[in-house]
Structure 1
Amino acid sequence: MERLHKNGILDLGTKVITVRVGQEPSHTDFTVHESLIRKSSPFFEAALSRQWREATERLVKLPEADAQAFKLYVHWLYTGHPNIFITGNPHSSDRTQLVKDREIELTKLVQGYLLGDYPQDCDYKDTLADAFLEWGSRFWSGLAQPFKHAAPIYSSTTKGSPVRELIVDFTLWTQRHTCWDGVGDDELPNAFLCDYIRAREAKDRDVAARNSSPFFRFKGTCHYHCHSDDTCYREDIDSDDDIPHFDSLFPEGISDDK
């Protein structure tokens, strides 16, 4: 991860820029260290390295981006951790509230991942994919309709995107908990339904896939990463202490079974 020095300290520099997110005048401005975001994002590196208006005005506008999702990205830039989890009371008897919290977390994961296309930050998206696996390993049975996130994912990504496979696998693995009642034919993308059918047929033929959750089978791997042949963000980090440990983001003992 180039935004880190070899000693694990963030390379912040002294210059800052403003990132204006959303449509004006209801936009949100974020102040970010230029060196940090340029080293992590090819988009910002290109926008600020040439004699473009953005470089001169120290202002980059993202009118189509979501401010809450960009806030997650900024948090990750400075900490290396995604801030999507709602701690609350893991031992609460209010099952309805716990399910609502899980829904909010999954929505934040999806929105945060899709936001990563604006800065073209592969490390960020791969970190979110790993967080998704950690989240899924704990709460996969807590949602009745995970496929409702398929529409924004499929409308914002292209064929072969790892996050498409991720939401298909999530839906497939939770099918015994999944409730399809009340879902209209026009609510789910045709491409998602085709991918789901193909994945289900493959699962029926694969004993390992039938008996092993993808959240555990692919945890700690690059299966859902987008870096292709490039180095994984984990390998770019000199110390294991700097690799995101998602266990620390959960209160002790929190899981879907509580």
Structure 2
Amino acid sequence: MAKTRACGTKRKDSEPHEGPSKRFRPSFTDTITVLVGEDEATFTIHKDTVCQRSTYFRSACKPEWQDGQADKSIPLPEVQPGTFKLYAHWAYTGEIDLGVIDVKQEDGDSADEARSVVESEKQREDWYQRAKRLMELHVAADFLGDDKLKDRTIDTLTSLVGHRRRMHGIAKLLPYVWNETSSGSGLRVLLMDYVMTLHAGATFIKSIQQRLPAEFFTDLALAQLALYPGGRKDRMPLPARRRAYYDNR
């Protein structure tokens, strides 16, 4: 996904993608074959079902894109089979159901769990898997040109994050998001806000800094500078603050 947009995720220049144009008229009769992932897992799906959702598929199903092909299959190596299974379920139902790929989905913490000081490793792993799948689905939705699904994944993620005191697994998720999205992505903004409000955030960043791309630190610096613009005057290097710069202060 090499092409970078002003906002969103990174796409290949060669991939067909367009915005909404003339009115789409579905027939719900034809099916298409999608070859997903590097191993080309085969999915058969109704063409009009995905074309109503995805500008990518709307373009890929145009005759001019399919001329000269021995078959009419659509390769989609950028998306993993599990993520596309979630996408297919969304295309047909308009719902995100992580249970489709056997990822435990919870509405929130129970009262007892919320009071618990230490969560079990199983709970941590369940949370991480849900967050990871939702972020992968968000990236896929942007690549496929499905803005409604992008919004829905953000809704689900904010609810998921809001039910936890700490974002378990974030050390493994931040590099993925910053490598797969571009400046201005709502998913980046969501995670950056969480990092900046996380208790002991500075210690947290130091612990994972080797795994983070340079662009993360640019975004972090800009986000910090945007906070309390009036308060920055208190940091002016005036003579009255000279002792703050002594090495042996």
TM-score range, shorter chain: 0.5 to 0.7
Contact 1:145 1:178 in 2 (8 A): no
Q: Does 1:27 align with 2:40?
A: yes
Aligned to 2:55: 42
Q: Offset of 1:201 from its aligned partner?
A: 4.2
- Residue identity matched to 1:42: T
Amino acid at match of 1:192: F
- Residue of structure 2 in register with 1:58 after alignment: 72
Whichever residue aligns with residue 46 of structure 1, its letter is S
Give identity over the alignment, percent.
Answer: 24
Using the size of structure 2 for normalisation, the TM-score is 0.67
Is 2:163 the counterpart of 1:138?
yes
**Counterpart of 2:104?**
86
Structure 1 residues 77 and 28, CA gap change in structure 2 (3 angstroms): same
Deviation at 1:168, TM superposition (A): 0.7
Count of paired positions: 195
Does 2:28 align with 1:13? yes
CA contact (8 A) 2:59 2:65 kept: no
How far the C-alpha of 1:50 sits from its partner, in A, is 2.2
Deviates more, 1:143-152 or 1:36-45: 143-152
Q: Which has the higher helix share?
A: 2
TM-score under structure 1 length normalisation: 0.65
Residue 221 of structure 2 corresponds to residue 197 of structure 1: yes
**Residue 95 of structure 1, CA deviation:** 2.3
Question: For 2:168 and 2:202, how far apart are their aligned partners in 1?
Answer: 5
Q: Distance in 2 between matches of 1:102 and 1:206?
A: 38
Distance 1:98 1:179, change over 3 A: farther
Secondary structure of residue in 2 paired with 1:29: strand
Assess if the C-alpha contact under 8 Å between 2:161 and 2:167 holds in 1: no
Q: Which of structures 1 and 2 has the bigger CA Rg?
A: 2
- Hey, what does 1:111 align to over in structure 2? 136
Could you list the runs of 5+ residues in structure 1 that have no partner in the other structure? 3-10, 208-258
* Partner residue in 2 for 1:220: none
2:180 matched to 1:169?
A: no
- Is the CA contact (8 Å cut-off) linking 1:69 and 1:108 kept in structure 2? yes
1:187 aligns with one of 211, 220, 224: 211
After superposing on structure 2, the runs of 4+ consecutive aligned residues of structure 1 that deviate more than 6 Å are 91-94
Aligned residues of 2:105 and 2:130 also touching (Cα < 8 A): no
Which whole-Å CA distance do the structure 1 matches of 2:27 and 2:197 have between them?
A: 42
Query: Following TM superposition, by how much is the alpha carbon of 1:145 offset from its aligned partner in structure 2, in angstroms?
Result: 5.2
**CA–CA distance in 1 between the matches of 2:52 and 2:205?**
47
Secondary structure of 1:108's aligned partner: helix
The question of whether the paired residues in 2 share the 8 Å contact of 1:116 and 1:122 is answered with: yes
Secondary structure at the aligned position of 1:51 is classed as helix
